[in-house]
Amino acid sequence: MPFAKKKAKRPRRSNDDSRFKRKSCRFCADKVFVFDYKDANRLRNFISDRGKIVPRRITGNCTWCQHQLARAIKRSRSMGLLPFVAG
């Protein structure tokens, strides 16, 4: 087929993703390794307005800190310090 159209090549993305700034873990930066479920004011920053736990990709926490944070939020909810659902 001499008249077949060739697909246009898309420009490749460079490995330099300068569009996004990598968020650093807030807890590792402050060297906080104790996640206290009784500290409801700090835990409230990581809960959405609907009462959901904010994901890692938004908060910028590392994996270990996000797991500990989620555990502290869940304990705080069961103790009645944080709401399960926004009210």
To which residue do tokens 């330099």 refer?
16
Beta carbons of 62 and 28 less than 8 angstroms apart = yes
**Annotated domain spans of the chain:** 26-79
Going from the C-alpha of 69 to that of each of 23, 26, 39, 44, 80, the distances in angstroms are 17, 11, 11, 11, 16
pTM over 0.95: no
Looking at domain 26-79, its CATH architecture is Irregular (4.10)
Quickly count: other Cβ atoms within 10 Å of residue 1's Cβ.
4
Q: pLDDT tens across 46-72, in order? A: 999 999 999 999 989 999 999 999 999
Q: Is 65 helix (H, G, I), strand (E, B) or coil?
A: helix
Q: Residue 2: phi, psi to the nearest 5?
A: -75, -20
In tens, the pLDDT along 12-49 reads 666 655 666 777 888 888 887 889 999 999 999 999 99
